[in-house]
Amino acid sequence: MQIHRVQELFKQSPVGQRVSVCGWVRTRRDAKNNFSFLEINDGSCLKNLQVIADGTLENYETEVKKLGTGSSLRVEGIVVASQGKEQAIEIKAERVHVYGFASEDFPLQKKRHGFDYLRTIGHLRPRTNTFGAVTRIRHTLSMAVHDFFHSRGFFYVQTPIITANDAEGAGEMFQVTTLDLDKLPRTPEGKIDYTRDFFGRRTSLTVSGQLEGETYAMALGNIYTFGPTFRAENSNTTRHLAEFWMIEPEMAFADLDHNAYIAEEFLKHVIRAVLEQNQEDLNLLDSFVQKGLKESLQNIVAGPFARMTYTEAIEVLEKSGQKFEYPAKWGSSLQTEHERYLTEVHLKKPVILTDYPKDFTAFYMRLNDDKKTVRNMDVLVPQIGEIIGGSQREERLDVLLERMQEAGLKPEDYEFYLDLRKYGTAPHAGFGLGFERLVLLCTGMGNIRDVIPFPRTPGHCEF
């Protein structure tokens, strides 16, 4: 017999039909006269399906009345119109097959649990309402990412995870090795002999797929990556993960204006998908996790983002009369307090800030004619801050070489990247978005460890 998913039953309300549902018991309530109500969840949606089980079932006393929270079962029965207000339908059980009882120490009992505690049972937390909702929203966002780019003719390119490069000349990296650390091979000079490591050289986990992505954009036109990236930074904050997923589109023949246009369209597209497809999940999160979540998402998709150069932003901040902990000054980076003032007080909407001073930007960002600023952009969102960073890339070989020299990078380490400028160079641009920051934005969750299935942070690599 076909298994029906709870979400479909709620959608179709097939009253009178015989169905079969599998799931886990959330609660059991026994009434008088040999009646019990089981709330069943199968993960397909937030709402539980109510099942009415009674003494006519052959295992009513022996099994059904022993079903505790977390038990798994299959119910066969008839869909009936519900008496309650909560839902339109329920199931009158004709057969209850128990797959597995949950032993009494099942940690997820009916009461609400703190997120800190749930993090210690990361293998069970997806069975809670909140983490079920986060997982479904994360899924919607993933699909919307692919959908956005695919429908616009971008090709998905899986850039490498293990790399011998350091994409930004910065960022602490994890080393990857098969050397036996207890018997490290040495060169005659006493150095570690990496020619005997798996790849014959020292290798690390990637911090960005951008440089490799550029090689494909310069052949296929529009591409994007969507894969894991890594930072070995000792950051114990609610915004940092050592392992996180990143989305990096790259577009040949595009300038920064087009880049900003695509970034804005992209962000609105994926948020709209959640608003449309995860209404129940959003209602839960709006009620119990972050009041005003839905409204803040609706605000992002409602109107155009503001555009402003870094220089204009500094002027606004200087004239604001606002007292900042760090006064805003041309040439220094914007602090969170500055970004919040701009998006939450001054503009009251997202803003795309462009043309930052070259001194604190990456070597590959295209130098402006003023020689002081570069064609980069940050997309800032109220409450969250920077969610997207991008730039037009430096396509002029001579300027790029100069910038690399300033940054202390050796051209011979970037030959493949320089080749893109030697052979048919073209304007191109792209951006990067930390996927978990996006999930934070769309779920209202407060800690980034709670929006990725199994978070990796300093001192934590469980499961």
The residues pairing with 386 across neighbouring beta strands, listed in sequence order, are 380
Measured from the CB of residue 381, what is the shortest distance to its own copies in angstroms? 22
Is residue 370 within 8 Å of 358, Cβ to Cβ? no
User: Helix crossing, 256-277 with 279-288: angle to 10°?
Assistant: 90
Q: DSSP secondary structure string, 61-74?
A: TTTGGGPPTT-EEE
Which tokens sit at 73? 């079962």
Residue number with CB closer to its own copies (13 or 195): 195
Residue number, 34 or 142, with CB nearest to its own copies: 142
Whether 388 and 267 have beta carbons less than 8 Å apart is answered as: yes
Shortest Å, Cβ 156 to its own copies = 5
How far is residue 280's CA from residue 271's CA, in Å, rounded to a whole number? 15
CB of 451 to its own copies, least distance (A): 11
To the nearest whole angstrom, how small is the minimum distance from the Cβ of residue 168 to its own copies?
16
Least separation in angstroms between CB 43 and its own copies: 4
Place of tokens 């003032």: 341
Between 60 and 199, CB nearer to its own copies: 199
Which CB atom, from 212 or from 248, has the smaller least distance to its own copies? Answer: 212
Rank residues 184 and 275 by Cβ distance to its own copies and give the closer one: 184
Neighbours of 405 (CB within 10 A): 12
- The nearer residue to its own copies, 130 or 376, going by C-beta atoms, is 130
As measured in angstroms, the least distance from the Cβ of 328 to its own copies is 35
Distance CA 90, CA 13 (A): 9
The residue among 137 and 314 lying less far from its own copies, judged by its C-beta, is 137
CA angle 221, 261, 230 (to 5 degrees): 70
CA distance 228 to 232: 13
Question: What is the closest distance, in whole angstroms, from the C-beta atom of residue 360 to its own copies in the complex?
Answer: 25
3-state secondary structure of 35: strand
Complex with its own copies: residue 2 or 56, whichever CB lies closer: 2
Q: Alpha-carbon distance 310 to 316, whole Å? A: 10
- Rounded Cα distance between 416 and 212, Å, is 9
Which helix H or strand E contains 290, and what residues bound it?
Answer: none
Q: What b-and-e string marks burial along 218-232, b requiring 16 or more CB atoms within 10 Å of the CB?
A: beebbbbbbbebbbb
Give me the least distance between CB of 461 and its own copies, in Å please.
4
